[in-house]
Amino acid sequence: MTKWTQLFSTKEMSIQKKLTLTIMGITSFILVISLSVFISIELNNLKESMLNNLRTISLLTGQNISGALLFHDKKTASENLQSLQATPHIEIVHIYNTNDANFTLFSSYQKSTQHVADSLNIPEKVKLLLNSQKNGALYIDKKTHLVQTIILDQDLSTIGMIYIVANRNAYWQQINRYIRTTLMMLLIAFLMTIIFASKAQKTFILPILELLNSMKNISKKHNYSERINNSYRDEFGQLFMAYNELLYQLDKQEQITKNYQKDLESRVEKRTEQLSLARDQALSASRSKSIFLASMSHEIKTPMTAILGYTQLLKQSQLESENAHYVHVIDKSGKHLLSLINEILELSKIESGTYKLHNTDFDLTELIQTLHEMFVISCMNKNINWSTKNFTDAPCYINGDKGKLNQILINLIGNACKFTNEGYISLIVENPNPNLYRFIIEDTGIGMDKKSLDKIFDAFHQESDGANKGGTGLGLNITKRHIELMGSKIHVVSKINKGTKFFFDLHFPKTQHTDTQLKDTSYNQIIRFNLENQITVLVVDDTPENRFLLQNSLTQMNCIVECAENGQQALDKLTTFTPDIIFMDIQMPIMDGMEAIKKIRMNNHFKSLKCIAISASTLEHDQKYYINCGFDYFIAKPFSFNKISEVIIELLNINQESIISKQAIEQEHSNKKIINLALEHDFKKQLLDAAEFGLLTELSTLAGKLNDYGNDGQEAAGILKHLINQADLKQINQYVQQLVEHSIKK
């Protein structure tokens, strides 16, 4: 907005000024219009009056000189014209004789010598009137030019023409007087208007100001009980009445609000107390749950460690077929029980918000191949077609949480195996975009209806079919939470008796593969360290079974092992025994593992000593916590033999060439024993078919028949039964192929 626009803007002007300007504007407009009309009429009348006066003068002059025209008496005519000296506005007079054939100038009059020259310059329009002998008046150069015929009274004949030039000074003087008068009247009118407006505007402004002041006071004090004094009977009176009514309603509403606020504060206090009590109860329940879960984790996993550990040791020994089957059932049931416990503990971690991703580099192709081998026997026993289809056969190294991805796929494929009795189960991995991987698990199982689909991912929810087949009802809930933790969503499509399809997309950045130590030992495979100096180990655990289990497995790995029942005994042992590595339980009497590691690290002599924490309480803390406390690694109970060996290899930087697999030793030994067997053609075919299709029951029967081939056959049968107990289809195939290839032809 410009400076002049702001100056004449009425938006910021007070109502008082606006009202004054309005009154002055209207008054001025009416007055100017009225004076303009009046002056116009007066000036027009003045103009006509002056013209009529001039005509009268011309008639009188014509009558006075008519006799002189008849007798051509120029002297008398000139004397008569001199009488016009008394009329100052007449400047020039010409008398023309029409009786003269040449229409000549008979006589003339000039007011002064300066008009002599003007008398000779007759305008053309005047000449036309003279030549046509017509009467007329013209206004030329601010002067009046009048042409009038001179008529003889006796016969009304034209005897001459009179031409008069008169100035209009009187006319302009009159206009000046009108202008001065008008300005004076306007000034007086403006003054009167200002006086009137200043009085009149109070009639309108005072009620408004009174209302405005009342509003300001109420806005400032918030006292709605005040009322404005209403002494008006006009529209302002109605406005004040409405305003007072509004104040009454506001005052009433304020009282209601205050009462409600008091009641609300009381209710909020009560509700706060209730919420505080509920919060305390919830925290107490949460603490109780955490304590219970931690206790359950320790109390259950401690005996589970012994059960699964001794099962692994038994599976290493040469057992009879029936006993090996019993051990296999115990191992399988124990692992299933452990998976149920882990699912409950894992759900608790997720709900407490302590569950995190642990991203590492891994080969996706290898993971898919491992899953294929894991479920091939289960599907084969149910006569189900099991297939995996990866987008590539080449290694695909990516960065992500391998453990959680593995658990997601195991849960989904395991469910498919559980609820599929015929048809097929497939795992398809696609790579639609760089770093984007789509996983599809499809089966031809019993399927689900829409009602079941809506609840399928709820914790502890199981349909009747699921309950009959066992489980906790947590697998799909944990799967869904894992996928969401990775920033994606799982989708499911299913039809009754048609099958189910789960699919989800995950983002994994690709990574450059770097060679690392290969860990090709199986879950229950013990290795042996072939070193010049044996590894010395201190095992600290208050449970005799777990202590003996770890001691036995480490001894089989060609380690020198000492044991202690608690942290204090471990410290006493360290005064005479310096181990390469310590495996220490956390929860122990007298002195627990946490206090023991602090005292070990305080001793400069043991600052570089490798210490591994072993605990069944995996709910409260993660690996990073124990490392921050001074441990070099953390292993959760129950542990596997290969996990123990992996940690030793990693922490002590043992060369891979110094590791001898027991399986490799047995394989090397078996190769020497099978070359002398003479197997029938049909028997060899039965062995090859059973090994190719993974028919473990039939293979076990055929292994019993090998006992009929002498001592070498009995040893071959023992090796084959051992492999059957391990359910290692790859090694079974290789061993059967060797048996057949090296058999003596009959």
In this prediction, residue 286 has a pLDDT band, given cuts at 50, 70 and 90, of low
Q: Please state whether beta strands 527-529 and 659-661 pair in parallel, antiparallel, or not at all (unpaired).
A: antiparallel
pLDDT in tens, 424-482: 999 999 999 989 999 999 999 988 887 777 777 765 545 545 444 444 456 687 788 88
Give the long-range contacts of residues 126-129, CB within 8 A, separation 24 or more: 126/163
Task: With a cut of 80, say whether residue 93 has pLDDT above it.
Answer: yes
pLDDT surpassing 70 at residue 540: yes
| Residue 428 confidence (pLDDT) | 95
DSSP of 425-456: EEEEEEEEETTEEEEEEEE-SS---HHHHHHT
88-112 average pLDDT score:
78
Q: Which of 110, 82, 92, 105 is nearest to 160 (CA)?
A: 105
Q: What confidence tens digit (pLDDT) does each residue in 136-167 have?
A: 888 887 788 888 888 877 777 778 888 888 88
Quote the pLDDT of residue 608. Answer: 86
Mean predicted confidence (pLDDT) in 76-102: 79
pLDDT given at position 339:
58
pLDDT for 673 beyond 50 = no
Residue 362 tokens, joined:
């891994």
Q: What is the pLDDT of residues 679-720, one digit of tens each?
A: 888 888 888 888 776 666 777 788 888 888 777 787 788 777
Q: What per-residue string of b and e applies to 264-286 under the rule 16 or more CB within 10 Å gives b? A: eeeeeeeeeeeeeeeeeeeeeee
Q: What is the pLDDT of residue 563?
A: 93
Mean pLDDT of 39-48: 80
The amino acid at 251: D
| CA distance to 55, 60, 153, 162, 364, per residue, from 135 (Å) | 10, 15, 17, 9, 125
226 close to 45: Cβ distance less than 8 angstroms: no
CA distances in angstroms from 626 to 550, 562, 636, listed in the order given: 20, 23, 12
Over pLDDT 90: what percentage of the chain?
A: 14
pLDDT of residue 472: 46
Classified as helix, coil or strand, 268 is helix
- Rounded to an integer, the average pLDDT of 246-253 is 80
Q: What is the pLDDT of residues 467-525, one digit of tens each?
A: 444 444 566 877 888 898 889 999 999 988 889 999 999 999 988 765 443 344 334 45
In this prediction, what percent of the chain has a pLDDT beyond 70? 76
User: For position 385, what pLDDT does the model report?
Assistant: 92
For residue 513, the model assigns a pLDDT of 63
Helix, coil or strand: residue 497: coil
Alpha helices in 448-493 (DSSP H): 450-455, 464-468, 475-485
Residue with tokens 């031409």: 163
**CA atoms of 730 and 721, how far apart (whole Å):** 14
Of residues 64 and 727, more confidently modeled: 64
pLDDT of residue 347: 53
What is the signed CA dihedral for 267, 272, 275, 276, rounded to 10 degrees?
A: -150
pLDDT given at position 116: 63
220 pLDDT above the threshold of 70: yes
Give residue-wise pLDDT tens across range 584-620. Answer: 998 889 999 999 999 999 988 888 899 999 887 655 5
Q: Are 157 and 151 in contact (CB under 8 A)?
A: yes
CB 691 within 8 A of CB 376: no
Residue where the block lists tokens 């100035």: 167
Between 221 and 257, the more confident residue is 257
pLDDT at 145: 87
Residue 672 predicted with pLDDT over 50: no
* Model pLDDT, residue 727: 58
Q: Is 121 in contact with 94 (CB distance < 8 Å)?
A: no
Mean pLDDT of all residues in the chain?
A: 77
Among 103-117, 150-164, 314-328, 583-597, the range scoring the smallest mean pLDDT is 314-328
Query: What domains does the chain contain, in order, with CATH numbers?
Result: 15-175 (3.30.450), 356-507 (3.30.565.10), 663-741 (no CATH)
Q: φ, ψ for residue 477 (rounded to 5)?
A: -65, -45
